[in-house]
């Protein structure tokens, strides 16, 4: 009833739905799916072994496979006064107005309309982590605009980095952007 290729696809789908890992090594079900699909699409008579190289992994966009294979490297700092990233938060039920700016010297200026402003220096570990988040190649695949126009009272985030402006209300999951927003939000004044 099922051919070898159909059975492989069914197994992969079951593993993906169950959230299982694949062959030790910490691979995710999605990676297992890509490997199985690649192996299933290789003809049985081929003398080449099936591999999960980026050229054989089916993905939604070419840049997604390129970004996924690259490791984050900290963004370079050209000068102490350089703005590495800025984030403005607005909206919400009560009408929030907040901002965070990270400079090249490791200082963070955070402002909350109700709580005032605070300037502090990041630790070496915090500064490196923020620069790694900014250097994540997966940020290249994040959409510049993701807003749920039918949702009311969501916070709106405007994040500026490397000549780019990204606007989101976080209604759609974007892990690299969500991690950056969460890390920057930790510097906001606490009331």
Maximum CA extent, the chain: 69
In the beta sheet, which residues pair with residue 7? none
Do 8 and 39 contact (CB within 8 A), yes or no?
Answer: yes
CA 49 to chain centre: 32
| pTM for this model (two decimals) | 0.64
SS3 125: helix
SS3 32: helix
SS3 111: strand
Query: Could you count the other beta carbons within 10 Å of the beta carbon of residue 45?
Result: 5
| Predicted confidence (pLDDT) per residue in 120-160, tens digit | 999 999 999 999 999 999 999 999 999 998 887 899 999 99
In the beta sheet, which residues pair with residue 90? 97, 156
| Predicted confidence (pLDDT) per residue in 37-76, tens digit | 333 333 333 333 333 333 322 333 344 444 556 888 999 9
- Measured in Å, how far apart are the chain's first and last C-alpha atoms? 64
**Residue 142 DSSP code:** S
d(CA 106, CA 165): 21
Q: Where are the beta strands (DSSP E) in the chain?
A: 83-91, 96-103, 107-112, 116-121, 145-146, 155-161, 164-168
Pick from 172, 115, 124: nearest CA to 149: 172
**pLDDT confidence of residue 150:** 84
Under the banding of pLDDT at 50, 70 and 90, the label for residue 29 is: very low
């Amino acid at each position: 009833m099922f051919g070898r290729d159909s059975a492989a696809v069914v197994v992969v789908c079951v593993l993906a739905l169950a959230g299982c890992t694949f062959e030790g090594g910490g691979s995710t079900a999605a990676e297992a799916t890509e490997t199985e699909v690649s192996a299933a699409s290789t003809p049985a008579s081929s003398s080449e072994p099936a591999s999960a190289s980026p050229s054989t992994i089916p993905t939604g966009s070419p840049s997604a496979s390129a970004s996924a294979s690259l490791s984050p490297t900290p963004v370079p700092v050209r000068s102490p006064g350089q703005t590495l990233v800025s984030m403005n938060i607005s909206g919400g039920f009560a009408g929030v107005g907040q901002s965070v700016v990270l400079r090249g010297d490791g200082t963070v200026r955070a402002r909350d309309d109700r709580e005032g402003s605070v300037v502090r220096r990041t630790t070496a570990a915090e500064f490196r982590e923020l620069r790694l988040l900014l250097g994540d190649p997966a940020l290249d695949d994040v959409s510049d605009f993701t807003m749920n126009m039918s949702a009311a009272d969501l916070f709106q985030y405007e994040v500026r980095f490397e000549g780019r402006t990204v606007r989101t209300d976080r209604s759609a999951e974007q892990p690299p952007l969500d991690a950056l927003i969460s890390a920057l939000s930790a510097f906001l004044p606490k009331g």
